[in-house]
Amino acid sequence: MSDFGTFFLPGPTEVHPDVLRAMLQPMLPHRGAVFEALFARIQAGLKPIFRTTRPVYVSSSSATGLMEAAIRCARPGAILCLVNGAFSERFANIAQSCGREATVIGGDWSGPVSLDAVEGALKRGGYSALTVVHSETSTGVLTDLEPLTKLAHRYDCAVLVDSVTGLAGVPVETDAWELDFVLTGSQKALALPPGLAFGVASEKFIGEAKAAAGRGLYFDLVEFEQYVHKNQTPNTPALSLLYATAVQGERIAQETIERRWDRHVAMSEHTHSWVHELRARVGAEFSVYAPDGAASQTVTAVSLPANLKGDDVVKAVAKRGFVIGGGYGKLKASTFRIGHMGDHTMEGLERVLEATAEAVEETLGAS
Ligand SMILES: *Cc1c(COP(=O)(O)O)cnc(C)c1O
């Protein structure tokens, strides 16, 4: 436990020792009562995190698998892809590579795609679904899902949400906001090891999925829906990770999801004020990349002065025993990223930020 609080990548995130230990349990047949009881425990833990009464699909894949499932299972029609970073770009690429007609809107990484741009596209018609990344891990930008979903539903367009660095750190109201499909991966704000993905489909979405041709087999959500009601998965699940998920669901219930959201708000506010202090401390242009009011509470991308490279800071932080993330994609040189999500505490965050400030001073001094 003493080592916990050093690993601040925006995914995978640090896993609590109690969760790691849960994986040291024996194998079980995945068709049988003991497994079904374990699966029911996982459902009881995950449903309140998704804020849903619908069952939660458990996929033995990384999150990208369920992004592909979302596309393959959307009812026939073109897909509107809201792109404002690397992961939303991936969602668009998946739509295209699955042979769907896909239209990209947005395209710049400066903030959420505007509702005006979305409505302009929806008015032209023909979209059965749109894709959106709730918390863009590449930029630290958060998109407000509720008004987007209301708008899309006026045009009978389903909303497919990647909330991989949102869910379990940032409020996601699957039922209240009427999200059609929302997915996450195990290794981000849920603070589990990598290897599982979780998704919830509305009854309408899964009903209409039956009309989608070429759903394939491994990522056919209609199959997941059939099995989940038996507390089973279609194929052999990553059992050791399921043990970890059961324990983490109970740990989150103990904290309560509301307090978990609050802890993430506090960590992100603290990181933002640290960026402002850093600017004063070293007299250089540091800023939060995300625009005001659209910052994700789980990850902050910090824009750097031109004479500083993200990777050099990351290396200098590593010498101090902490891991933070470099910039992603086209922001690789001009930012670094701090993943303040999962089970991290304010005390741990304060330590990594102090180490990062020292690393910045050292790197600027050397340049
Ligand atoms: C990490 C991440 C993914 C991809 O997840 P994998 O588990 O690597 O497939 C997708 N979307 C977002 C927003 C992410 O942060």
Domains of the chain, start order: 17-255 (3.40.640.10), 257-366 (3.90.1150.10)
Q: Would you say 337 is a known binding-site residue?
A: yes
Q: What is the pLDDT of residue 367?
A: 66
Structure tokens at 194: 């990598």
- CB of 162 shorter than 6 A to ligand 1: yes
Tell me: the pLDDT tens digits for 13-45? Answer: 999 999 999 999 999 999 999 999 999 999 999
CA distance 114 to 133: 13
| Residue 3: band (very low, low, confident or very high) from pLDDT cuts 50, 70, 90 | confident
Please write the tens of the pLDDT for every residue from 229-250.
999 999 999 999 999 999 999 9
Q: Which is the closest atom of ligand 1 to the Cα of 186?
A: 7
User: With 80 as the cut, is the pLDDT of residue 192 above it?
Assistant: yes
Residue 60: the pLDDT is: 98
- φ, ψ at 116 (rounded to 5°): -60, -45
| Rounded Cα distance, 340 and 6, in Å | 11
For the record, the structure tokens of 259 come out as 């307090």
- Residue 207: predicted pLDDT: 98
How many Cα neighbours within 13 Å face the side chain of 363?
24
N residues, the chain: 367
Closest ligand 1 atom to residue 85 Cα is: 13
Per-residue confidence at 1, pLDDT binned at 50, 70, 90?
A: very low
Answer whether residue 174 shows pLDDT above 80: yes
Q: What predicted TM-score, i.e. pTM, was given to this entire model?
A: 0.98
3-state secondary structure of 17: helix
- CA–CA gap between residue 350 and residue 274 (Å, rounded): 9
Say how many Å lie between the CA of residue 34 and the centre of ligand 1.
31
Percent of the chain with pLDDT over 90: 97
Output the CA 130–ligand 1 centroid distance in Å.
Answer: 18
Mean pLDDT of the chain: 97
Q: Closest residue (by CA) to atom 2 of ligand 1?
A: 164
Kindly report, residue by residue over 253-277, the tens digit of the pLDDT: 999 999 999 999 999 999 999 999 9
Non-local (6+) Cβ contacts of 118 within 8 A are 80, 82, 105, 130, 148, 151, 152
Rounded distance, CA 232 to CA 230, Å?
5
Report the distance separating Cα 176 and Cα 192, nearest Å.
26
DSSP state of 367: -
Alpha helices in the chain, H assignment, sequence order: 17-21, 33-50, 63-73, 86-97, 115-124, 145-154, 203-209, 221-228, 239-255, 257-282, 310-318, 346-366
DSSP 319-340: TTT-EEEE--GGGTTTEEEEE-
Q: How far is CA 116 from the centre of its chain?
A: 25
Query: Rounded to the nearest whole angstrom, what is the distance from the C-alpha of residue 142 to the centroid of ligand 1?
Result: 15
Contacts of the segment 2-6: beta carbons below 8 A, 24+ positions apart: 4/343, 4/348, 5/344, 5/345, 5/347, 5/348, 5/351, 5/352, 6/321, 6/322, 6/323, 6/348, 6/352
276-315 residue pLDDT tens: 999 999 988 999 999 999 999 999 999 999 999 999 999 9
What pLDDT digit, counting tens, does each position of 97-156 carry?
Answer: 999 999 999 999 999 999 999 999 999 988 999 999 999 999 999 999 999 999 999 999
SS (H, E, C) 247-310: HHHHHHHHHCHHHHHHHHHHHHHHHHHHHHHHHHHHCCCCEECCCCCCECCCEEEEECCCCCCH
Contact 323, 351 (CB under 8 A): no
The pLDDT of residue 2 is: 52
